[in-house]
């Protein structure tokens, strides 16, 4: 039975209720069904809870405020994270009701930037297992593992092999914090029932020697498997997912650059899947650039782009910019010519020996740079590109703090009064420049967005809201539309549509405040808007956007308590 049908039972009077097949301590230990102190007198009697709870019957609102006051006593975000995760493990409904009420305050706690530290401290702070931990030793027992898993109605799976966790690299089994966090945002943003979400970590070992030397480390104490052994493991995983969860959407998360592109390309047509680091990052960045064009009153095709950091996110951004330029009338060749990419070795040139396959599409032909004034023609720096070529949009995904300089901004302003500059690296300590610096260097003219949350900046009496280019504005809506639209393939076009949808959601108030992204408190409405636009684009039944939106909205789970009846 699907979760939707399970939650929509009606009694003889037509009132909704939830059938409960357990009672006593088993019910109190069930994170999906537990209400804590909110069980009614009838429920306590009928479900064997008499004497197992304090006598006061609390409302959901009372529970939210009590827990909120308690968490406000925590001295750090990592302490708040631990308390929130503990709540999530014992009462999912209360957890999501709390996060929904204080979404702006707690989203940075349950995900970036706090989740990075949580991954680093995973083994030391381990409380309760969640999801599936798959290794090369147990992968052939997946049928048995799935059989024992509490929910069979899985709709969204987020999987990581833990190698490219945020900006901090290989975290071994501790990377499980990422799928857990991402799925929390699916429920919060897209209303996907928590019982339909499955986090998975692929523990293929770790090359993090500090973890291997730590006796408290909970993962496999061996180096990572690589090459053909790794590829065979991934292939076996994908086909077992297809067998056991045939209706689920699979999201690849925080794989190394090479594996991220290879896995996506190899299995994109095997089952509906996408990589948020590549496609989601590209989509949210493109949306911010489109928003910046609204502020500048200029066209996207008249810009020139530099992406510093040619990993999964950087190349994903370049691809989405290319898709948008083609959509706006340029040929693929013309679009690529407007995009420059740099990595740790400088401008990526086509003739570079040993160039990674995923970097080749946006490599620059050397003849274009022959007339440039540079110190070393084989290692052209970011500053030299900006000094020699008309760059109007600068994107940072390098993880290199303080790499944007005042001179770069000055050079950009030779070509455009309002340079678009997005230092998107996470966490905050990895940011290429702070918003305050960029506003100072540009005399308040730069259009800025960041990957991490920043407080508003006061500049010359003007309060500027710094938009956060957070993938959470994209992936819940995309996953929801793919799920309800029964997509067989989730390709780049889907994310381009999502990017334009997110930009369409911006209000005049957002743009006037200098922000190219909505406020995080609008997350669920944003996700609904994005999902509606994507589904409408692919709809074959001639339904209006209003009809599609209503269907999606009715489907979305809301964190509230229904009456329980024993079955």
Task: Give the residue numbers annotated as catalytic, written as ranges.
Answer: 111, 182
Q: Which residues pair with 17 in a beta bridge?
A: 9
Cα separation, 506 vs 500, whole angstroms: 10
CA proximity to 397, closest of 449, 454, 361: 449
E strand or H helix that includes residue 47:
none
Cα separation, 309 vs 395, whole angstroms: 8
What contacts 394, CB < 8 A, 6 or more positions away? Answer: 306, 308, 386, 404, 408, 412, 419, 420, 421, 422
What contacts 145, CB < 8 A, 6 or more positions away? Answer: 132, 134, 138
CB 104 within 8 A of CB 455: no
List the structure tokens of 255. Answer: 């794989």
CB 199 within 8 A of CB 179: yes
List the structure tokens of 533. Answer: 């636009």
Q: How far is CA 169 from the centre of its chain?
A: 17
E strand or H helix that includes residue 64:
helix 60-71
Cα separation, 119 vs 122, whole angstroms: 5
Cα separation, 277 vs 358, whole angstroms: 14
3-state secondary structure of 178: helix
Q: How far is CA 554 from the centre of its chain?
A: 24
CB 160 within 8 A of CB 179: yes
Question: Any idea of the CA torsion for 159, 170, 382, 289, to the nearest 10 degrees?
Answer: 30
Cα separation, 43 vs 165, whole angstroms: 44
CB 155 within 8 A of CB 250: no
CB 242 within 8 A of CB 272: no
CB 201 within 8 A of CB 131: yes
Rounded to 5 degrees, φ, ψ at 247 are: -105, 10
Cα separation, 501 vs 349, whole angstroms: 34
What contacts 165, CB < 8 A, 6 or more positions away? Answer: 116, 119, 171, 174, 175, 178, 254
């Amino acid at each position: 039975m699907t979760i939707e049908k399970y939650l929509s039972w009606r009694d003889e009077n037509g009132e909704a209720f939830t059938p409960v097949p357990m009672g006593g301590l088993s019910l109190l230990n069930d994170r999906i069904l537990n209400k804590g102190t909110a069980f009614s007198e009838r429920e306590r009697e009928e479900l064997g809870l008499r004497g197992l709870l304090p006598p006061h019957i609390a409302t959901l609102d009372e529970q939210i405020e009590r827990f909120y006051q308690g968490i406000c006593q925590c001295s750090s975000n990592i302490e708040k994270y631990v308390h929130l995760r503990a709540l999530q493990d014992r009462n999912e409904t209360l957890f999501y009701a709390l996060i929904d009420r204080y979404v702006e305050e707690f989203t940075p706690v349950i995900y970036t930037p706090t989740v990075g530290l949580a991954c680093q401290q995973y083994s030391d702070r381990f409380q309760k297992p969640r999801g599936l931990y798959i290794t090369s030793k147990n992968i052939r027992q997946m049928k048995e593992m799935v059989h024992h898993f509490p929910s069979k109605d899985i709709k969204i799976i987020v999987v990581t092999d833990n190698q490219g966790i945020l900006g901090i690299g290989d975290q071994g089994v501790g990377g499980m914090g990422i799928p857990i966090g991402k799925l929390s945002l699916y429920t919060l943003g897209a209303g996907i029932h928590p019982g339909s979400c499955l986090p998975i970590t692929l523990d293929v070992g770790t090359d993090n020697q500090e973890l291997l030397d730590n006796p408290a480390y909970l993962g496999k104490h061996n180096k990572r498997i690589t090459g053909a052994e790794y590829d065979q493991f991934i292939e076996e995983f994908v086909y077992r997912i297809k067998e056991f969860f045939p209706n689920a959407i699979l999201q690849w998360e925080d794989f190394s650059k090479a594996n991220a592109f290879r896995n996506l390309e190899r299995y994109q047509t095997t089952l509906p899947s996408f990589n948020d680091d590549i496609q989601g990052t590209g989509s949210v960045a493109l949306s911010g650039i489109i928003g910046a064009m609204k502020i500048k009153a200029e066209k996207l095709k008249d810009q020139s782009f530099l992406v510093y950091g040619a990993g999964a996110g950087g190349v994903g951004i370049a691809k989405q910019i290319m898709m948008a330029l083609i959509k706006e009338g340029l040929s693929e060749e013309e679009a690529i010519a407007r995009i420059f990419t740099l990595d740790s070795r400088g401008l990526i040139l086509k003739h570079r020996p040993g160039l990674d396959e995923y970097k080749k599409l946006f490599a620059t032909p050397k003849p274009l740079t022959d007339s440039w004034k540079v110190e070393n023609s084989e290692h052209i720096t970011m500053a030299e590109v900006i000094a020699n070529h008309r760059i109007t949009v600068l994107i940072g995904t390098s993880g290199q703090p303080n790499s944007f300089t005042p001179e770069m901004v000055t050079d950009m302003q030779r070509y455009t009064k309002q340079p678009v500059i997005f230092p998107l690296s996470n966490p905050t300590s990895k940011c290429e420049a702070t918003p305050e610096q960029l506003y100072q260097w540009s005399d308040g003219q730069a259009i800025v967005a960041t990957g991490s949350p920043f407080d508003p900046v006061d500049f010359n009496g003007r309060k500027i809201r710094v938009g956060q280019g957070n993938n959470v504005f994209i992936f819940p809506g995309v996953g929801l539309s793919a799920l309800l639209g029964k997509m067989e393939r989730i390709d780049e076009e889907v994310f381009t549509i999502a990017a334009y949808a997110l930009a369409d959601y911006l209000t005049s108030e957002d743009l006037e405040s200098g922000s190219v992204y909505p406020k995080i408190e609008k997350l669920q409405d944003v996700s609904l808007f994005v999902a509606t636009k994507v589904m409408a684009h692919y709809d074959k039944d001639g339904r209006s956007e209003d009809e599609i939106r209503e269907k999606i909205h009715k489907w979305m789970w809301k964190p509230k308590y229904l009456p329980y009846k024993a079955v």
